[in-house]
Chain A
Amino acid sequence: MRGRTHPVEAVAAWLLALIWLAPLAYALWSALHPAAYATSFSLSAPWTLENFARAWKQAPFARYYLNTIVLVTFVLVGQLILSTLAAYAFARFKFKGSGIAFALVLLQLMIMPDVLIVENYRAIARLGLLDTIPAIALPYLASAFGIFLLRQTFKSVPQELVEAARVEGAGPLVILWRVYVPLARPTYVAFGLVSVSYHWNNFLWPLIVTNSVEARPLTVGLAVFGAPETGVDWSVITAATVMTMAPLLIAFLLFQRQFVQSFMRAGIR
């Protein structure tokens, strides 16, 4: 089956690919042409960056970018540290209750913070953190997915390497840092890409806990930026939309192979 492809199938595959790219192609078209050409496609339409300039002027996108970058970094660093420590505990220590503790961690795979918005909002309010970037990040810092993924990886680390380090007098944390972490590098990259794209794109929770420009990430900024009814025209909205997704999209195009492979690796049970 990996061999030759029937021409009909090849045509179908390409047709589907074009359909799949069409919405994105439209967004780019509309963002890069004057408003008059937003809905009529003509090869002679002039190209322009005017829409981006106008969108940039109409909303504090620089601030939104900064917020999103701070948020994504904060979440990623927190997740990496917490997942590494917890995964190490599960992978290499025998202790009473570890089975139950692990099951309680895995529960978060099914019931993610996205679902518990009402109580989590109360918790964040009680902590006095509403409308801050930590408020967006906190519920996601302990990631069941990260713990699970790293535990699997840590379990495959050869015991001889650990013994060798122990003989040299290394304690548990030194062994973790010098043996386990370096060997788990591909898993860290995979998890990092998944985490960054998830939190760059996350919307509902940030919408709920933020209400000022100072804390709002790009996605929420884009949503308050305007629907067509508010008088902002299509070309400007698509320009803002393209700006919101551009960094991730460019990163994806540059590191396409790693991206796809890391998703592949990350998703495997």
Chain B
Amino acid sequence: MTDLAASSPIPERRARSQAWWNAVNAWLLLLPAAVLLVAFTHWPILATIRHSLFITKRNGSEVFVGTDSYRAMAADPIFWKALVNNFWFALGTIPTSIALALIMAVWVNRNMRGRGFLRLAYFTPTVLPMIAVANIWLFFYTPDYGALDQLRGLFGLGGWNWLGDPSTVMGCLIVMVIWKEAGFFMIFYLAALQQLSPDLEEAASIEGASRWYTFRRITFPLLMPTTLFVAINAVINSFKLVDHLVIMTKGGPNNASTLLLYYIYEVAFTFQDSSYAATLTVVLLMLLSGIALLKFGYLDRRIHYQ
């Protein structure tokens, strides 16, 4: 189309009207999705930022307060607790579930007997609702007659209030989330492993390289893009995953298991303080944008894709 346009003025006009017509068509196709995306993603992001600078009075009028809410947030110990908890939650769940996912994928990628069953077993938790998972795991952690305490009983140990003790509650939730997520990440590794050329491993084994050496020096580096993809997803999940808190701990005891999004939910819908909830949401948005920038601006350029 463009070479024609250069040769004479009439086709040029036609090309221009063609381009215009193309744009109209494209925007019409985009319109329904665009309206909803703006209404429930872009506008809410801007509204959240605006809202964090105002407070709503009891009569419904809004008063500009500038950064007051941010200063109040900086002095709010529960906010810091939620942030620190989120950090430990991410650190506790992400590396372990990724490592487990990789091990699982390597196993079920082999011609092992019962491979289908193993895949099924590892992946099943992924399709369960978090809220159902929380119900089931609540039983494991119930003091005295829960599965964990029955096990302790076998060794003559007494009951322990796993979810009621600030020192154990986060660990319990982390273990459960690893169980829920590892199988999901396994799928991505499995897909990546199946795309790797078997020649590389064959060549390595002819050279006499040990299996561990081959994995460490050949397979694992080739899986780097997948590891990055999975890690980004895991980080985003660690900020989104709060369903189980509603059933298991309500953020307690003494806020030991509160995560940022759960705190936002509590502030907005239990304490009915939507301006402060907006301030907290801005922090969450900043964290998520930070991850996005890191991914698109830096990591995508550094890591080699096949």
**A residues neighboring B (CB under 8 Å):** 1-3, 5, 9-10, 13-14, 16-18, 20-21, 23-24, 26-27, 30, 39, 81-83, 85-86, 88-90, 93-96, 98, 101, 104-105, 107-108, 110-123, 138-139, 141-142, 144, 147, 172, 197, 200-201, 203-204, 207-208, 218-219, 222-223, 227-228, 234, 237-238, 241, 244-245, 248-249, 252-253, 256, 259-260, 263-265, 267-269
Chain B residue at minimal CB-CB distance from A269? B229
Cross-chain contact A223 with B131 (CB below 8 angstroms): yes
Cross-chain contact B268 with A115 (CB below 8 angstroms): no
Cross-chain contact B211 with A1 (CB below 8 angstroms): yes
Cross-chain contact B41 with A108 (CB below 8 angstroms): yes
Interface residue from B25, B118, B219, B225 paired with A1 (Cβ < 8 Å): B219
Cross-chain contact B188 with A267 (CB below 8 angstroms): yes
Cross-chain contact B139 with A30 (CB below 8 angstroms): yes
Residues of chain A within 8 A (CB-CB) of B123 are 259-260, 263
Contact flags B60-93 to A (C-beta < 8 A → 1, else 0): 0000000000000000000000000000000000
Residues of chain B within 8 A (CB-CB) of A89 are 25-27, 29-30
Beyond contacts A101-B34, A219-B132, A249-B127: 9 other A-B pairs, Cβ-Cβ < 8 A, are: A2-B201, A5-B110, A20-B124, A101-B30, A111-B41, A144-B37, A252-B124, A264-B187, A265-B191
Q: How near does chain B come to A88, taking the closest CB pair, in angstroms? A: 6
Q: How near does chain A come to B266, taking the closest CB pair, in angstroms? A: 11
Q: A39-B145, A115-B285, A122-B274 are in contact. Are A237 and B135 (CB under 8 A)?
A: yes
Chain B residue at minimal CB-CB distance from A249? B127
Interface residue from A3, A88, A253 paired with B29 (Cβ < 8 Å): A88
Q: Is B40 an interface residue (CB 8 A)?
A: yes
B110, B135, B184, B289: which has the most chain A beta carbons within 10 Å? B135
Minimum-distance CB pairs A-B, first 6: A119-B44, A93-B26, A201-B129, A17-B121, A142-B36, A95-B23
Q: Is B112 an interface residue (CB 8 A)?
A: yes
Cross-chain contact B132 with A116 (CB below 8 angstroms): no
Residues of chain A within 8 A (CB-CB) of B32 are 81-82, 85-86, 142
Question: What are 23 A-B interface contacts by the 8 Å CB criterion?
Answer: A5-B107, A10-B113, A13-B108, A17-B121, A20-B122, A23-B140, A27-B132, A39-B145, A39-B150, A93-B22, A96-B23, A110-B291, A113-B41, A117-B264, A117-B265, A119-B281, A142-B36, A204-B261, A218-B129, A222-B135, A244-B132, A248-B127, A248-B128
Chain A residue at minimal CB-CB distance from B284? A115
Cross-chain contact A20 with B125 (CB below 8 angstroms): yes
Interface residue from A107, A244, A259 paired with B129 (Cβ < 8 Å): A244
Cross-chain contact B132 with A241 (CB below 8 angstroms): yes
Cross-chain contact A245 with B122 (CB below 8 angstroms): no
Q: How near does chain A come to B114, taking the closest CB pair, in angstroms? A: 7
Q: A24-B124, A203-B129 are in contact. Are A16 and B104 (CB under 8 A)?
A: yes
Q: What interface size band does chain B fall in?
A: 35 or more
Q: CA A222 – CA B120 in complex, angstroms?
A: 25
Interface segment, B4-12, B154-162, B237-245?
B237-245
Cross-chain contact B127 with A252 (CB below 8 angstroms): yes
- Interface residues in B208-226 (C-beta closer than 8 Å to A): 211, 214-215, 219, 225
Q: A5-B112, A17-B122 are in contact. Are A116 and B48 (CB under 8 A)?
A: yes
Q: How near does chain B come to A35, taking the closest CB pair, in angstroms? A: 12
Cross-chain contact A119 with B122 (CB below 8 angstroms): no
Cross-chain contact B187 with A263 (CB below 8 angstroms): yes
Cross-chain contact B127 with A119 (CB below 8 angstroms): no
Interface residue from A13, A138, A222, A265 paired with B118 (Cβ < 8 Å): A13
Q: A95-B27, A122-B274, A201-B129 are in contact. Are A26 and B48 (CB under 8 A)?
A: no
Q: A10-B113, A113-B41, A259-B127 are in contact. Are A172 and B139 (CB under 8 A)?
A: no
Interface SS of chain A: helix, strand, loop or mixed? Answer: helix
Cross-chain contact B246 with A223 (CB below 8 angstroms): yes
Q: CA A260 – CA B124 in complex, angstroms?
A: 10
Q: CA A203 – CA B130 in complex, angstroms?
A: 8
Cross-chain contact A219 with B129 (CB below 8 angstroms): yes
Q: CA A92 – CA B278 in complex, angstroms?
A: 39
Residues of chain B within 8 A (CB-CB) of A9 are 107
Q: A17-B118, A111-B41, A267-B191 are in contact. Are A85 and B127 (CB under 8 A)?
A: no
Q: CA A224 – CA B52 in complex, angstroms?
A: 32
Q: Is B292 an interface residue (CB 8 A)?
A: yes
Q: Is B109 an interface residue (CB 8 A)?
A: yes
